[in-house]
Amino acid sequence: MDAESPSERRPRGRNPRGQGERLREEVIAETLRQLDELGDDQPLSLRAVARAIGVAATSVYLHFPDRDALVLAALERCHQDLALAVRQAEERADDPAAGLRARTLVLGAWAHEHPGLYKVLHESTLNRRADLHFKEVLARSTEAAVRRCMEAGLAPEDDPAAVALDLRAAVHGAVSMRVNEPDRGWPPLAEQVDRFLVRLVGVRPR
């Protein structure tokens, strides 16, 4: 059992009636912060999350029955926010090819800023013991972005699903290597992304 010293606790009043959702959001935000710091879901505990926001562990259990449920909810929220940022970047682009590039760079920038969350989302054992179905949202949107390039005549006709999978594998490989070997002399990610788009998708060189 985790000990809770006075220096570790932060006093907090009870949420007024009807504000349980506010506590849930605080728990998710703190969970994401700790996961990003830890780079792994295994060391995370509900008690540590509760202690950090100044509530009893039982308050967290009211919203999440166990640690995996909490981690999954936090990662789903993270993924939703990332999907929104990707969509907004794509919508600001001038054409489908520029949109595909913009969304890909957003994913790379996010992984650079949140390497711990990236590792939990893609490399933790949670991927083997839980259903992270929400990750399919970005997979499907990448396929749709590739299809738009083909339909606009900005990339040769091909199987959008296969091309999108190749692109995702290449980008995740490039990002993962940067996350796990940050001290190597990597070229700018944008340069690699441009090569991926030319060689894997077939868009014209920038």
Q: Are residues 116 and 62 in the same domain?
A: no
Kindly state whether residue 144 falls inside one of the protein's structural domains. Answer: yes
Of 40, 67, 94, the domain-final residue: 67
Average pLDDT score over residue span 24-50: 95
Q: Which residues contact 164 (CB under 8 A, 6 or more apart)?
A: 139, 142, 143, 145, 146
Kindly state whether residue 63 falls inside one of the protein's structural domains. Answer: yes
Q: Position 133: which residue type?
A: H
What local confidence, expressed as pLDDT, does residue 167 receive? 97
Q: What is the pLDDT of residues 107-162, one digit of tens each?
A: 999 999 999 999 999 988 888 888 889 999 999 999 999 999 999 999 999 999 99
Report the share of the chain in percent with pLDDT over 90: 81
Phi, psi of 158 (to 5 degrees): -165, -175
The length of the chain in residues reads 206
Q: Are residues 118 and 172 in the same domain?
A: yes
Q: Quote the tokens at residue 128.
A: 């083997």
* Secondary structure tally for the chain: helices H, strands E: 10, 0
Kindly state whether residue 181 falls inside one of the protein's structural domains. Answer: yes
Kindly state whether residue 8 falls inside one of the protein's structural domains. Answer: no
Decide if pLDDT at 11 tops 60.
no
Kindly state whether residue 29 falls inside one of the protein's structural domains. Answer: yes
Q: What's the mean per-residue pLDDT of the chain?
A: 90
* Rounded CA separation 200/198 (Å): 6
* Rounded CA separation 160/7 (Å): 55
Domain count, the chain: 2
Q: Are residues 54 and 85 in the same domain?
A: no
Report the share of the chain in percent with pLDDT over 70: 91
Q: What is the pLDDT of residues 40-50, one digit of tens each?
A: 999 999 999 99
* Rounded CA separation 34/51 (Å): 12
Decide if pLDDT at 3 tops 50.
no
Kindly state whether residue 11 falls inside one of the protein's structural domains. Answer: no
Average pLDDT score over residue span 161-178: 96
**30 touches 54 (CB < 8 A):** no
Q: Are residues 29 and 126 in the same domain?
A: no
Decide if pLDDT at 56 tops 60.
yes
Q: What is the pLDDT of residues 76-96, one digit of tens each?
A: 999 999 999 999 999 999 999
Provide the domain limits for residue 45: 20-67
Q: Are residues 101 and 136 in the same domain?
A: yes
Q: Quote the tokens at residue 149.
A: 């390039």
pLDDT class for 21, splitting at 50, 70, 90? confident
Decide if pLDDT at 15 tops 90.
no
Q: Are residues 164 and 120 in the same domain?
A: yes
Kindly state whether residue 14 falls inside one of the protein's structural domains. Answer: no
Least confidently predicted of 2-11, 22-31, 155-164, 174-183: 2-11
Kindly state whether residue 119 falls inside one of the protein's structural domains. Answer: yes
Q: Are residues 75 and 111 in the same domain?
A: yes
What local confidence, expressed as pLDDT, does residue 206 receive? 75
Q: Are residues 134 and 51 in the same domain?
A: no
CATH number reported for the structural domain that contains residue 131 in this entry: 1.10.357.10
* Rounded CA separation 59/40 (Å): 23
95-116 b/e (C-beta count within 10 Å ≥ 16 → b): ebbbbbbbbbbbbbebbeebbb
